[in-house]
Amino acid sequence: MGLPAIDWGVSSQERREMREAVELERKDAEQRLLDMRSSERVTMAVAVTGVCDNNFFMGFSENISEGGVFLSTLCPPRVGEVIDLSLAVGEDHALLVKGEVRWHRTNDSGEPTGCGIKFYPLTPEQEALVAKAIEATGKHPLFYDE
C-alpha cells in the first residue's frame, strides 16, 4: 500500500515555475561548463564511432577543439566513461583518439542529444591531425569575443 499524497499547498502554477527554475539552472550550469574550455571550438561535422566498456556507438561531431569534441548521439556513453574514438577527418584516414565523457547535453524533455568528450593527452601525431582537421574547417569559431 502506497503512502498518501501530501498536499503541501503548492499550486500547479508554482510547481510549473519550480520546474522551469530547475531547467534554467541546468542550462546555466551546462553553459558554465562550455565557457570553461581552454581552447577555441570550431564547427566540424564528421562521422564518429567509438568503443567503451565493450559497447559500440556512433554519431556525428558538432565541433572540435584541441582539447576535445562534442559528439551528437542519442545514446551517449556515461559521464566519466573512457572511450576510444575514430573521427572520419579525411577520405583516406581517421583520427584515432582516447577521451573521457565529461558532460551530456539534453533536450527540453531531458533526453540525451550528445556529449562533450575531453581528449586524453594526445601524441604529437594526433595533435597534428587535430590541428589539420581544425585548419581544414576554415577555422569558423562557434563563439566570438566581443
Residue 20 lies in a domain: no
pLDDT of residue 7: 61
Percent of the chain at pLDDT > 90 equals 14
Compute, in degrees rounded to 10, the torsion defined by CA atoms 63, 65, 70, 71. Answer: 80
Residues 28, 127: contact at Cβ < 8 Å?
no
H or E stretch covering 11: none
Residue 72 lies in a domain: yes
pLDDT of residue 39: 64
Range of the domain at 99: 39-136
pLDDT bracket for residue 32 (50, 70, 90): low
Residue 110 lies in a domain: yes
36 pLDDT above the threshold of 90: no
- What is the value of pTM for the model shown? 0.65
Mean pLDDT of 112-117: 88
- Number of folded domains that form the chain: 1
pLDDT bracket for residue 141 (50, 70, 90): very low
pLDDT greater at residue 3 or residue 67: 67
Mean pLDDT estimate for the chain: 79
Residue 47 lies in a domain: yes
Q: What is the CATH number of the domain that holds 129?
A: 2.40.10.220
Which pLDDT tens digit goes with each residue over 82-110?
Answer: 999 998 876 777 888 999 999 998 888 88
Residue 146 lies in a domain: no
Query: Going by C-beta distance under 8 Å and a sequence separation of 6 or more, which residues neighbour residue 6?
Result: none
Residue 89 lies in a domain: yes
Residue 124 lies in a domain: yes
Residue 56 lies in a domain: yes
